[in-house]
Structures are given as structure tokens and as C-alpha cells.
RNA sequence: GCGGAUGUGGUGAAAUUGGUAGACACGCUAGACUUAGGAUCUAGUGCCGCGAGGCUUGGGGGUUCGAGUCCCUUCAUCCGCACCA
């Protein structure tokens, strides 16, 4: 073999490792550059081809910056705590630490194969006690802090306590949930428990009640995406909205700074926009409504206080704390039924489903703050308890959801904007003139908002307020595999551990499940108490805790005295280029910004944004394969007992049909199997199945009088996802699937097909659960890491998502071999010439230097690969093997294909690593042209090319063009109306 | 529902500031070399048309000498939505 990539890549990987080529130290003589990848969660499936996309791009950039003379920090580590390892532990009993260690080992092997320039001496793992010691330490800092709204930064909670002792909380400038006011005397009279409860309303991490998706059967809280159709994805158990005491992070204190800080960041507008929407700043008013015959009030936030006279009813969330209190006896039953129904629906469903309007009247009335009219109070699930105050003043004239609601329940829809037509729907127009609104009549919306707020403030019933959609982040997890929270309970009071007790290490437990009483797994740990015998917090931290500050740990990863030294922090500072997926827009990227701002407030970090520039690599989508499964139904006419239907489970005799059968079926209007077009074989199969299932049911349920039958339409055929590994193209290897132990339900399945079983193909997210993951290992085995690196970049623009398709990988591999052959003769002997490079050779080289440099700078990695290909093709055409040219070219290609570059660099007679060489200097003088080939257009359509010297004046160009015989042909005797000449660009003649 | 993207040949794509649409590859067709080819090389390849030529960047409209690029409108697909990380 001419280009022996296996030998070359193995050789240089060892060389780099032994020589610590990628080791990085502080070097004050050089400018720093910090390139960071979002670190991976090491899943059991290993690295798939989507991961390296971003890693390769950032590695190219890091290597490029190093060639450009920067001191580049480029570390890697692992987000090693997480749910999948815990799930696996629950299923197998294996400790998540063991699973995680095994996964890490595999990730490392895979990463090493690709030839990244990581400084592995800086690796971090969030599950390592030496690491999470500092995650816990940050938690304690947050616990000991509150947000001082006067200084507009975090401050020591002791300062707040001192203030309370002196003057109470009336004048306290602090962000918090404390609603009642107390004097210094009252504060000082409180016992410790009462004082601590009040401080919880100010601490930046605090205990409070939050709503969660509680699954009683699993004894745990579920994420939205673990819930499908209102039941748990695992096991199908019911899930309810439940209030639980949880740790939260007071990120809302930072809402405004998180919002304005975005302006300084070099991120895509899309991500910034997502964060702005997430923070959701809206300016409006908080209005209090009195409740008739009750002393409580309902607060609502509105962005349109000008519409106050358009309010004809109120809607509060079914979970609102006042619902049970104000509901009248007559309405009690209906309200309770509705609450149960609403609790069973996920927030997502409630938000998405606007077509089905539902709600229930509480029987209570609120008093309109200006008119005093009684307005009915309803509950409805389109109002979410967790958003705003959990209550809205309904203005059906101006809000479509309110309009739908009023329309359905026959509530009045007042007109409050002149000329408004609201017979068919609400009118949210903000341009009109207010009417039917007492003192607001005749005003424009903008002015009415101001006046309404003034009136509310004067009357003491409301005030102007800025609201944020952002909610405090729930921080407790009822899980095992996460950081323990360094809190213990002294007589029921949550108390911070001392820093000297960190790390609080994760204890051993007998099982990774919640206890029988529904307590988190840590409650199973023996002696989970402090030395004094106080119980320790049993919740753990969420996955995002460790990843909210890891970028800082890389700067000084082995420091035991502090999370990073000031020297390291001041030299490396924040991340200059952050590479990762856009899917973290509202999670990790917001939390990391929040912690950074906090640590900056406290003087621990010398910067207040973690990631200066960010590039979001697009997803590599996978190829999924599906087969069609026929669903059988039961003819219900013969059944009296509903329970039978619920309890019936069909046995393993699934029927699967290939694509052509499916299409034969759906393309006809046939709904019964006994009609034409369906093969006799399928008809027979279905009949047989009907009969055997009917017999089986009769045997199990003696009073079953019906039969299993096929009344089905094509919609009762479902798509079943099958692993791509058993499919060649679209043709399924039926035997392999049947024999796959992971898919035992296919063992007795019937497959109906002609010649070969054709599957349906779809492009979707590459994920283990979709069985469509492709690992990079076999690509590297067949083509080498350099080919993989070039190929992943060649696929298309980095930021766009694209399907994984290896068809064109040959072309990239062929390019590397062509590149190799530039340095070798026909017998694969190394052969270059020391002659002076020719003008043409220099032109090719410098054209390429410019293109490569410009494109890497603008993160257009795919076009660089094309530029290399063009360069090699052109040198090939010139039969060039000039050493001077090739030496420069080798450096140029090093960031993309470091192994082959290192090999050729050494063959050229060099001994130092190519990765340490200076980037070739572009010199414009080699590209100077004396003439330009002008495209000549008539009426904007290009007709012919004409080469003309660059020093011609516009007049001379026009003259030359008009005299040309092609021009005469297209002019066809007419006189041009206009001639447009753009020097060095185009000529356009308008006829 | 809200929010964010993306639509260009048979395929992945290029066109950086409004200036030659389809670079570079894959695939395909024909040929050369070869015992052989899933190696290598040469030529061709957006669509329609014998040709002159016409058409072409999801659809429709607009601005402009000139639009893939700017504006309006519409359709389709993908992604995220607070406990997956």
C-alpha cells in the first residue's frame, strides 16, 4: 500500500504522547487562547459520529491558533454524573461508578484514535470527589449569599442578618420571596427556626415547595421527556403534578444581568434570542383583585394594564392556592374533578393544546378594582401555576385564548378599542384608541398603559412591574448518581456544612432505588449523618451542577486548596471559543452564565461571562429503519365486560409486512383484508391470526363472546423501529433480527415480503434509543483518522444539521492518497526537488494559504477541504514536487490531517513536530493579475467571456466590448440603453 | 401553542459585500490500462431541445441594469420548550 495510514497514525499518536506535544503551561510571553468543547456525557453506546464533528472543528481551530503563535488551552473531560448510569445500576445492580469508569475508558480510546490535541493532564470528571468538592463548595457560597439589589450583585447573607437586627426588612434591598414585613424587634424576638425560615426567602440557593412530575409507582420525579401520553415512559405508570420541598437556585435574581450580558457575547443571534425568550422580560403591572366575601386577594400580572376595563372574568390555575378556599359548595365537586384532570396533564400538553378549551367556574367572584363590578373566577388548565402569579385577568376582546374561553362558556366580551371587531375572534391590535374605559377613554394604548398604572398606584391596588418568565431552577434530584448536597438538618433546620468537611462523598447504598417510603436513594445509606448525629440531605444535585463551572477547573485541575489559582484564572481567563450543540441554549448555557456571574460577584472569577464566542455545530442525523406491524383489534360488539378489553394482551405472534405490501394496501381504498390487491398469503395469515387469537381469548375469558377481527384501516398499521445494523441499505436481514437477543419479541414474528424485506427509511436524530447510532471506529479502521477528520468537515457547513452518509468518504480518502503521491514517485519512493519554485507553483500555494486562513477564521471548515483538493489537483497538473512548496502545504494541512502531515514533515527532513511550526505567511504579490476575464451580459444574462487588461478605463472597456463580434450578434442592430461596467467584476449591457 | 432553524442537480454541497448559479466531491455514462477490479487514469454529466436556444436556487409577488443573496407572502421539513445531558 502506498499511503499506509494505519502504521502512520499509530506511530505519531505514540510520538505525541511520549513527547507530551500537547502539554500546555502558562506562558506570559504569549497571548493565550482557550478553545473548549462542551464535554460529553459518557454513555454506554460510546462516541458516535456526531460527537467528533464539533471536536474536530475545535481541534482544527486550536491547532490553527497554535500555528499562529498563540498559547492554546484545549482540554477535555467528562460530565460523568447522570441518569443513564443510574438506570443501568437499577436494572443490573452494578455501581454507577463502575459503569461510568468503563464508559470513560471506551470514550478515551475512541477520542485518542482521532488524534485530538487535548492536554490530557488537565482532564476533569464531575464525579470525581476532587472535582465535586468544589461543586459543593460553590453550593455553600450560594447558600451563604443573597442578592443585594442596591449593589446589584451577590452579597454575604451575614450583611442581611445584620440589617435585620438593626432595622428589620422594610428597607432591605434584597431579591427574594419574603412577603411579610418585620421590624428589628420582631426579628430579634424570633427563634432560630423562624429566622432561618425567613433567610430561605433570600438565599441564592434555598429550600421551597415546587411542582414536580411525581410518579408514585416509581417513587421518583420524572423529566418531561420521560413522560409519554401522561404516563411514565418506563412502565406506563400514572404521573401527577405534585408539590415537593426542593432546593432551588435563585437564578431570577440575575435575570436582568443575564439578559443584558447577552449583548457582549459573540454567539449566534438564534441562541441569544432563545435565551432572551427564556428570560422573557415583560413590562407591565401587578394588579390586586379583591374577592367578594373573602379577605384574600388575587394578584395578576398584565402587560396590558390599559385593558383593565375589558376584564370580564378571571382565570386562575387549577393548582392555585386559593382555589379550594374560594370554591362554593355547589361548585366543589366539579372543581375537584377538574383539578384531578388537570393534574394528570403535563405542562407541555396544557400549553400546546389550545383547541380544546376547558375550565370550571369556582362560584366565587372578584371585584373589579375600578368599577366594583363582580367578575366570575374560573379555573382553567391553560393558566399555569408556575408562571407569573398563576392567575390572569381575562380580557377576551384582546386575547385569543381568553376570547375562546369566553366564547365557549358564554361570558361577556367587552369592546374596549374603538372600531374593534370581535365577533369572530380577539383583536390584539395595539394601535387603537381606548373606549368604554372610564378615565382611559380616548387615549392611545401606549398612553393608556402609563395612565392606568398611575391610577392603580394612586388607588393602592396595583403598581408598575417588570416580570420575567424565567423561573428559579429546581436543584434537588431524588437520585443516587449525583453530587451530595452539603447540608444537614439540625433540629429540622437546614444547616450548611463547614468547608473543611468537603468533599462530602457519595455513600454506598444497597440499591439505587428510592426507599419504600419514597425517600431518595441516599436515605438507604447507613449512618448518613454528621458526627453529631444530624441527618444529612438525601437529595443530590442535578446534572447541570458540575457542568456550570467546569471551564474554570481546566485552568488548574489538580489544585487542592482552591478551585483554581488566581494566577491560572488571570492568565487563561474565560473561554475564547466554545464549541457545542445548540440544544443546551436554555439549560447549561444559562446556568453556567449564572454561576459565572455569581462567582465574579464574590471575587472568585476575574470575568463575568464564561464563553466569549460560541459556535454550535449542527446535529448529524441518523438513518433510521422501520418495518410495518399490523395491529389487531377486537370486535367489541360481542363484549359486555369492558375490563376484558383493557386486560387483553396479544401474544408474541406479531405480523410485519414490508414496504411494498404496505403500499399496495394504502394505495388502494381497501380497508378489509378480504378484498383485492392484498396477497392471498397476507389474507390467509390475517384470517389465521384472527381465529387463533379469538380461541385464545375465549379460553382465558369464558364470557368473551366477541372475536378478534380485522376491521382495521391502514391507520392501524404502526411503524416499528428496528436497528440499522440488521439492514443493508433498505433490505432487512430477517434472520439476524429474529436472532438478536435484544429484540426477543421478533423471535416468533411473521415477516411477509417479496424477494427481500424492504424497510421504510427516515432521517432523525442519532440516538441509542432509535438504534441508528454509527460509531467512528470502523471508519477509522477502514480509512484512518485523517480521512475521518477531513470527511466530517467535508460533509457541509459546521452549523447545519446533516444526515450521516458515508458514500462520499472515498473521495476524501482518495484526496489524501493523491496528496501522498505528490511526495512520491511511481514506486512509492519519497521524491521531492529542491529547485526554486515556479511562478505557477507559488500562485497555487499562496492562493491556498489565503483561502485556508480566511475560511478557518470564519469557521467555514468544509470549504477548506475543497481548497486543499483544488490545490493538490493543480500541483498534480503542474507535475510539481517542489520541496519549498510542499513543506508549506504540509503545515497548512496539519490542523486537518495531523498524522499524515507529521509523517511527511519528517520525511522532508525535519525533526521537530509539525504541530509546533509557524503558519505559512500569505504574500499577495504572487497573486497579482494584469487582466480579468469579464463575463459580458445582455439584460442580465451572461452571453460570453472577454479577457481585458485591468488598467483599461471604463470607456475603453465599453469600446472593446461593443466592438466585439459576439456583442454585435446580441445587439442585433439595436443601440444599448445603458452599459454598466463594474471594474474587475462584470459588464452588463441593457438593450 | 411558543421559540429557533433549514429548503440550490440523482446525492453532500459552493457562490464571503447584490455581479459568470452548481466550485469541490459522491454517483452515473463512455473509454484506456489490466488475468481481474470495489485500484488507477482520460472524457462527459442541472433540466428541456437535433440545433439555435430556452428554463432553473420550495411556491407566488416585489425592488434593481442585475437577486440563491434584499423586501412581502405562502408552503414544507427539522430541532428545543425548565428533572436527558
Separation between the CA of A270 and the C1’ of B5 (whole angstroms): 8
Is A177 within 7 A of strand B by CB distance?
no
Q: What are phi and psi of A4, to 5 degrees?
A: -90, 80
Tell me whether residue A768 is annotated as binding. Answer: yes
Is A756 within 7 A of strand B by CB distance?
no
Separation between the CA of A102 and the C1’ of B11 (whole angstroms): 39
pLDDT, average across residues A397-414? 82
Tell me, what DSSP letter sits at residue A222?
A: -
Contacts of A345 (CB under 8 A, 6+ apart): A230, A381
Any idea which of A10-24, A767-781, A868-882 has the lowest mean pLDDT? A767-781
- Nearest C-alpha neighbor of A599 from the set A563, A634, A625, A624: A563
- Give CA–CA dist A991/A973, Å, rounded: 10
Chain A 607-646 residues whose Cβ is under 7 Å from strand B: 619, 621
Instruction: Specify the nucleotide whose C1' lies closest to residue A800 (CA).
Output: B6
Which range among A704-708, A845-849, A954-958 has the greatest average pLDDT? A845-849
pLDDT at A382: 81
Sign for the CA dihedral angle at A306, A308, A313, A316 comes to positive
Q: What are phi and psi of A719, to 5 degrees?
A: -95, 130
Say yes or no to pLDDT of A912 above 60: yes
Q: Mean pLDDT, chain A, as a whole number?
A: 85
pLDDT confidence bin for A674, thresholds 50/70/90: very low
Tell me, what DSSP letter sits at residue A501?
A: G
pLDDT at A611: 93
Instruction: Specify the nucleotide whose C1' lies closest to residue A868 (CA).
Output: B24
Any idea which of A261-270, A347-356, A567-576, A897-906 has the lowest mean pLDDT? A347-356
Is A812 within 7 A of strand B by CB distance?
yes
Is A568 within 7 A of strand B by CB distance?
no
DSSP sequence for A570-604: HHH-SBSEEEE-GGGTTTHHHHHHHHHHHHHHTTS
Is A874 within 7 A of strand B by CB distance?
no
Cα dihedral A721/A725/A730/A736 (nearest 10): -90
Separation between the CA of A891 and the C1’ of B23 (whole angstroms): 24
pLDDT at A190: 94
Q: How far is CA A943 from CA A248, A935, A950, A969, A972, in A?
A: 69, 7, 21, 10, 14
SS3 A687: helix
pLDDT, average across residues A603-626? 86
Separation between the CA of A82 and the C1’ of B2 (whole angstroms): 29
Chain A 185-224 residues whose Cβ is under 7 Å from strand B: 212-213, 221-224
Any idea which of A94-103, A257-266, A757-766, A916-925 has the lowest mean pLDDT? A757-766
Instruction: Specify the nucleotide whose C1' lies closest to residue A943 (CA).
Output: B20
- Give CA–CA dist A680/A906, Å, rounded: 70
Is A719 within 7 A of strand B by CB distance?
no
Angle of CA points A484, A488, A491, to nearest 5°: 155
A579 within 8 A of A591, measured Cβ to Cβ: no
Q: What are phi and psi of A612, to 5 degrees?
A: -65, -55
pLDDT, average across residues A198-216? 88
Is A262 within 7 A of strand B by CB distance?
no
Is A296 within 7 A of strand B by CB distance?
no
- Give CA–CA dist A667/A660, Å, rounded: 10
Say yes or no to pLDDT of A784 above 80: yes
pLDDT, average across residues A18-24? 94
Is A122 within 7 A of strand B by CB distance?
no
pLDDT, average across residues A497-502? 92
Separation between the CA of A778 and the C1’ of B32 (whole angstroms): 34
A778 within 8 A of A684, measured Cβ to Cβ: no
- Nearest C-alpha neighbor of A819 from the set A7, A2, A60, A11: A2
Residues facing residue A626 across a β-bridge: A721, A760
Grid coordinates given for A652: 408474541
Q: What are phi and psi of A96, to 5 degrees?
A: -60, -25
Grid coordinates given for A492: 429540622
Grid coordinates given for A853: 486562513
pLDDT, average across residues A455-462? 87
Q: How far is CA A968 from CA A500, A850, A988, in A?
A: 91, 40, 14
Check residues A757 and A394 and name the one with the higher pLDDT.
A394
Before A503, cis peptide (omega within 30)?
A: yes
pLDDT, average across residues A838-857? 93
pLDDT at A773: 72
Is A572 within 7 A of strand B by CB distance?
no
Instruction: Specify the nucleotide whose C1' lies closest to residue A543 (CA).
Output: B85
Chain A 347-406 residues whose Cβ is under 7 Å from strand B: 347-348, 351-352, 354, 387
A624 within 8 A of A721, measured Cβ to Cβ: yes
Is A991 within 7 A of strand B by CB distance?
no
Instruction: Specify the nucleotide whose C1' lies closest to residue A223 (CA).
Output: B83
Beta strands in A766-853 (DSSP E): 802-803
Residues facing residue A391 across a β-bridge: A316
pLDDT confidence bin for A681, thresholds 50/70/90: low
pLDDT at A667: 53
Is A50 within 7 A of strand B by CB distance?
no
pLDDT at A951: 81
Conformation bin of residue A520: beta by default, left when phi > 0, alpha when psi is -120 to 50: beta
Q: What are phi and psi of A987, to 5 degrees?
A: -125, 130
Separation between the CA of A942 and the C1’ of B55 (whole angstroms): 15
Question: From the centroid of its chain, how far is CA A876?
Answer: 45
Is A947 within 7 A of strand B by CB distance?
no
What domains are there in chain A, each with its CATH number?
32-127+546-620 (3.40.50.620), 281-468 (3.90.740.10), 622-765 (no CATH), 782-926 (1.10.730.10), 929-990 (3.10.20.590)
Query: For cell 374533578, what's the residue?
Result: A337
Share of chain A above pLDDT 70, in %: 88
pLDDT, average across residues A609-614? 92
pLDDT at A449: 85
pLDDT confidence bin for A322, thresholds 50/70/90: confident
pLDDT at A445: 79
Say yes or no to pLDDT of A675 above 50: no
Separation between the CA of A926 and the C1’ of B14 (whole angstroms): 25
- Give CA–CA dist A842/A780, Å, rounded: 34
Say yes or no to pLDDT of A730 above 80: no
A58 within 8 A of A117, measured Cβ to Cβ: no
pLDDT at A92: 85
Buried b (16+ CB within 10 A) or exposed e, A25-53: ebeeeeebbbbbbbbbbbbeebbbbbbbb
Residue nearest to nucleotide B26 (CA to C1'): A808
Any idea which of A116-120, A175-179, A580-584, A729-733 has the lowest mean pLDDT? A729-733
Any idea which of A111-125, A827-841, A848-862, A880-894 has the lowest mean pLDDT? A827-841
Residues facing residue A727 across a β-bridge: A732
Instruction: Specify the nucleotide whose C1' lies closest to residue A83 (CA).
Output: B84
DSSP sequence for A361-392: EEEEEEEPTTT--EEEEEE-TTS-TTSTTSEE
User: Which nucleotides of chain B does any protein CB come within 7 A of?
Assistant: 1-6, 11-16, 19-21, 23-27, 39-41, 54-55, 65-67, 78-85
Share of chain A above pLDDT 90, in %: 39
Instruction: Specify the nucleotide whose C1' lies closest to residue A276 (CA).
Output: B3
Tell me, what DSSP letter sits at residue A554?
A: T
pLDDT confidence bin for A672, thresholds 50/70/90: very low
Q: What are phi and psi of A632, to 5 degrees?
A: -100, 155
Instruction: Specify the nucleotide whose C1' lies closest to residue A214 (CA).
Output: B83
Separation between the CA of A965 and the C1’ of B63 (whole angstroms): 34
Q: What are phi and psi of A964, to 5 degrees?
A: -70, 140
Separation between the CA of A826 and the C1’ of B57 (whole angstroms): 44
Residue nearest to nucleotide B15 (CA to C1'): A863
Say yes or no to pLDDT of A413 above 50: yes
- Taking the CB of residue A601, how many other CB atoms lie within 10 A of it? 22
Strands A577-580 and A32-37: parallel
Sign for the CA dihedral angle at A902, A906, A912, A917 comes to negative
What's the ipTM? 0.92
Say yes or no to pLDDT of A55 above 60: yes
Separation between the CA of A429 and the C1’ of B72 (whole angstroms): 20
Is A835 within 7 A of strand B by CB distance?
no
Grid coordinates given for A18: 511520549
Q: What is the pLDDT of residues A856-910, one digit of tens each?
A: 999 999 999 999 999 999 998 888 889 999 999 999 999 999 999 999 999 999 9
A549 within 8 A of A562, measured Cβ to Cβ: no
Say yes or no to pLDDT of A671 above 80: no
Separation between the CA of A861 and the C1’ of B25 (whole angstroms): 15
Separation between the CA of A547 and the C1’ of B48 (whole angstroms): 58
pLDDT at A759: 74
Check residues A507 and A804 and name the one with the higher pLDDT.
A507
Q: How far is CA A269 from CA A275, A282, A310, A368, A614, in A?
A: 10, 20, 37, 42, 11
Check residues A630 and A644 and name the one with the higher pLDDT.
A630
A596 within 8 A of A610, measured Cβ to Cβ: yes
pLDDT confidence bin for A76, thresholds 50/70/90: very high
Say yes or no to pLDDT of A187 above 70: yes
- Structural element, H or E, at residue A768: none
Chain A 926-945 residues whose Cβ is under 7 Å from strand B: 933, 935, 937, 939-942, 945
Separation between the CA of A991 and the C1’ of B62 (whole angstroms): 22
A864 within 8 A of A851, measured Cβ to Cβ: yes
Grid coordinates given for A332: 366543589
- Give CA–CA dist A875/A886, Å, rounded: 10
Strands A760-765 and A931-938: unpaired
Say yes or no to pLDDT of A473 above 80: yes
Query: For cell 378615565, what's the residue?
Result: A439
- Give CA–CA dist A843/A846, Å, rounded: 5
In the structure, how many helices (H) and strands (E) does chain A have? 32, 37
pLDDT at A318: 85
- Give CA–CA dist A889/A876, Å, rounded: 13
pLDDT, average across residues A535-539? 93
A5 within 8 A of A114, measured Cβ to Cβ: no
Check residues A890 and A737 and name the one with the higher pLDDT.
A890
Is A966 within 7 A of strand B by CB distance?
no
- Give CA–CA dist A382/A459, Å, rounded: 30
Chain A 453-472 residues whose Cβ is under 7 Å from strand B: 469-471
Separation between the CA of A794 and the C1’ of B24 (whole angstroms): 9
Separation between the CA of A931 and the C1’ of B14 (whole angstroms): 25
Any idea which of A184-193, A711-720, A763-772, A793-802 has the lowest mean pLDDT? A711-720
A507 within 8 A of A521, measured Cβ to Cβ: no
DSSP sequence for A343-363: HTS-HHHHHH--SS---EEEE
pLDDT, average across residues A832-836? 90
Q: What is the pLDDT of residues A278-301, one digit of tens each?
A: 888 888 888 888 888 888 888 888
pLDDT confidence bin for A653, thresholds 50/70/90: low
Amino acid at each position: 500500500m502506498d499511503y499506509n495510514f494505519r502504521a502512520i497514525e499509530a506511530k505519531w499518536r505514540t510520538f505525541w504522547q511520549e513527547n507530551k506535544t500537547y502539554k500546555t503551561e502558562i506562558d506570559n510571553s504569549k497571548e493565550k487562547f482557550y478553545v473548549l468543547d462542551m464535554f460529553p456525557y459518557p454513555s454506554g453506546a460510546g462516541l458516535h459520529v456526531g460527537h467528533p464533528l464539533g471536536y474536530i472543528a475545535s481541534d482544527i481551530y486550536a491547532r490553527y491558533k497554535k500555528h499562529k503563535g498563540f498559547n492554546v488551552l484545549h482540554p477535555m473531560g467528562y460530565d460523568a454524573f447522570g441518569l443513564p448510569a443510574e438506570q443501568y445500576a437499577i436494572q443490573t445492580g452494578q455501581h454507577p461508578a463502575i459503569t461510568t469508569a468503563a464508559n470513560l475508558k471506551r470514550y478515551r480510546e475512541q477520542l485518542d484514535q482521532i488524534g485530538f490535541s487535548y492536554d490530557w493532564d488537565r482532564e476533569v470528571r464531575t464525579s470525581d470527589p476532587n472535582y465535586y468538592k468544589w461543586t459543593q463548595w460553590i453550593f455553600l457560597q450560594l447558600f451563604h449569599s443573597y442578592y443585594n439589589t442596591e449593589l446589584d450583585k451577590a452579597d454575604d447573607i451575614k450583611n442581611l442578618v445584620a440589617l435585620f437586627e438593626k432595622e428589620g426588612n422594610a428597607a432591605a434591598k434584597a431579591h427574594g420571596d419574603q412577603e411579610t414585613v418585620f421590624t428589628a424587634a420582631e426579628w430579634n424576638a424570633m427563634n432560630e427556626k423562624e429566622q432561618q425560615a425567613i433567610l430561605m426567602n433570600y438565599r441564592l440557593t434555598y429550600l421551597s415547595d415546587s411542582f414536580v412530575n411525581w410518579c408514585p409507582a416509581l417513587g421518583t420525579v420524572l423529566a418531561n421527556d420521560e413522560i409519554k401520553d401522561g404516563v411514565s415512559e418506563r412502565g406506563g405508570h400514572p404521573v401527577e403534578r405534585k408539590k415537593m420541598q426542593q432546593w432551588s437556585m435563585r437564578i431570577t435574581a440575575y435575570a436582568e444581568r443575564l439578559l443584558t450580558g447577552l449583548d457582549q457575547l459573540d454567539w449566534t443571534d438564534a441562541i441569544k434570542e432563545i435565551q432572551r425568550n427564556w428570560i422573557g422580560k415583560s413590562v407591565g403591572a401587578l394588579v390586586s383583585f379583591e374577592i367578594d366575601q373573602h379577605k384574600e386577594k388575587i394578584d395578576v400580572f398584565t402587560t396590558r394594564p390599559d385593558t383593565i376595563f375589558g376584564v370580564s372574568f378571571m382565570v386562575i390555575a387549577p393548582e392555585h392556592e386559593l382555589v379550594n378556599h374560594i370554591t362554593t359548595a355547589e361548585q366543589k365537586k366539579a372543581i375537584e374533578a377538574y383539578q384531578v384532570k388537570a393534574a394528570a396533564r403535563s405542562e407541555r400538553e396544557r400549553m400546546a393544546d389550545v383547541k380544546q378549551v376547558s375550565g370550571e367556574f369556582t362560584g366565587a367572584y372578584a371585584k373589579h378594582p375600578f368599577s366594583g363590578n363582580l367578575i366570575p373566577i374560573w379555573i382553567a388548565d391553560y393558566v399555569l401555576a408556575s408562571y407569573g402569579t398563576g392567575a390572569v385577568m381575562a380580557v377576551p376582546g384582546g386575547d385569543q385564548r381568553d376570547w375562546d374561553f369566553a366564547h365557549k362558556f358564554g361570558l361577556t366580551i367587552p369592546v374596549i378599542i374603538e372600531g374593534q371587531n370581535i365577533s369572530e375572534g380577539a383583536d390584539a391590535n395595539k394601535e387603537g384608541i381606548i373606549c368604554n374605559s372610564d378615565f382611559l377613554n380616548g387615549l392611545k394604548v401606549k398612553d393608556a398603559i402609563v395612565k392606568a398604572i398611575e391610577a392603580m398606584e394612586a388607588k393602592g391596588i396595583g403598581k408598575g412591574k417588570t416580570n420575567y418568565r424565567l423561573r428559579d431552577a429546581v436543584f434537588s434530584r431524588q437520585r443516587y448518581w449525583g453530587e451530595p448536597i452539603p447540608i444537614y438538618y439540625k433540629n429540622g433546620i437546614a444547616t450548611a456544612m463547614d468547608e473543611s468537611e468537603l468533599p462530602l462523598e457519595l455513600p454506598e447504598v444497597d440499591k439505587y432505588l428510592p426507599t419504600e417510603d419514597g425517600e431518595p436513594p441516599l436515605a438507604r445509606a447507613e449512618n448518613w449523618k454528621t458526627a453529631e448525629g444530624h441527618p444529612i440531605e438525601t437529595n443530590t444535585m442535578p446534572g447541570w451542577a458540575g457542568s456550570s463551572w467546569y471551564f474554570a477547573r481546566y485552568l488548574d485541575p489538580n489544585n487542592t486548596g482552591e478551585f483554581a489559582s488566581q494566577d491560572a484564572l488571570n492568565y487563561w481567563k474565560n473561554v475564547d471559543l466554545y464549541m457545542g450543540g445548540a440544544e443546551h441554549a436554555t439549560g447549561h448555557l444559562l446556568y453556567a452564565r449564572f454561576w459565572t456571574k455569581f462567582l465574579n460577584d464574590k471575587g472568585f472569577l476575574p470575568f463575568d461571562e464564561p464563553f466569549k464566542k460560541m459556535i454550535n455545530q449542527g446535529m448529524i442525523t441518523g438513518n433510521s429503519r422501520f418495518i410495518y406491524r399490523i395491529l389487531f383489534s377486537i370486535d367489541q360488539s360481542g363484549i359486555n365486560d369492558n375490563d376484558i378489553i383493557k386486560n387483553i394482551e396479544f401474544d408474541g405472534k406479531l405480523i410485519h409486512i414490508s414496504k411494498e405490501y404496505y403500499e399496495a394496501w394504502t394505495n388502494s381504498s381497501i380497508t378489509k383484508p378480504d378484498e383485492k390487491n392484498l396477497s392471498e398469503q397476507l389474507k390467509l395469515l390475517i384470517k389465521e391470526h384472527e381465529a387463533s387469537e379469538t380461541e385464545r381469548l375465549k379460553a382465558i375469558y369464558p364470557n368473551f363472546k366477541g372475536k378478534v377481527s380485522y376491521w382495521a384501516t391502514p391507520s392501524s398499521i404502526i411503524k416499528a423501529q428496528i436497528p440499522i445494523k440488521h439492514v443493508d441499505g433498505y433490505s432487512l436481514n430477517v434472520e439476524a433480527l429474529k436472532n438478536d437477543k435484544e429484540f426477543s419479541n421478533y423471535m416468533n414474528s411473521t415477516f411477509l415480503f417479496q424477494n427481500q424485506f424492504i424497510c421504510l427509511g427516515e432521517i432523525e436524530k442519532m440516538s441509542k434509543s432509535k438504534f441508528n447510532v454509527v460509531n467512528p471506529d470502523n471508519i477509522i479502521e477502514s480509512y484512518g483518522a485523517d480521512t475521518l477528520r477531513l470527511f466530517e468537515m467535508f460533509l457541509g457547513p459546521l452549523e447545519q444539521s446533516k444526515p450521516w452518509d458515508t458514500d462520499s468518504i472515498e473521495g476524501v480518502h482518495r484526496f489524501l492518497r493523491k496528496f501522498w503521491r505528490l511526495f512520491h514517485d511511481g514506486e512509492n519512493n519519497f521524491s521531492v526537488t529542491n529547485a526554486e519554485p515556479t511562478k505557477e507553483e507559488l500562485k497555487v500555494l499562496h492562493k491556498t494559504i489565503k483561502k485556508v486562513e480566511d475560511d478557518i477564521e470564519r469557521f467555514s471548515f468544509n470549504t477548506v477541504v475543497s481548497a486543499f483538493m483544488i490545490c493538490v489537483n493543480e500541483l498534480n497538473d503542474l507535475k510539481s514536487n517542489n520541496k519549498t512548496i510542499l513543506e508549506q502545504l504540509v503545515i497548512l494541512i496539519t490542523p486537518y490531517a495531523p498524522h499524515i502531515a507529521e509523517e511527511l514533515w519528517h520525511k522532508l527532513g525535519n525533526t521537530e513536530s509539525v504541530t509546533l511550526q509557524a503558519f505559512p505567511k500569505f504574500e499577495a504579490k504572487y497573486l497579482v493579475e494584469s487582466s480579468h476575464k469579464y463575463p459580458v451580459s445582455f439584460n442580465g444574462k451572461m452571453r460570453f467571456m472577454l479577457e481585458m487588461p485591468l488598467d483599461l478605463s471604463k470607456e475603453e472597456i465599453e469600446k472593446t466590448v461593443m466592438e466585439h463580434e459576439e456583442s454585435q450578434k446580441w445587439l442585433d442592430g439595436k443601440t444599448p440603453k445603458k452599459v454598466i461596467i463594474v471594474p474587475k467584476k462584470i459588464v452588463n449591457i441593457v438593450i
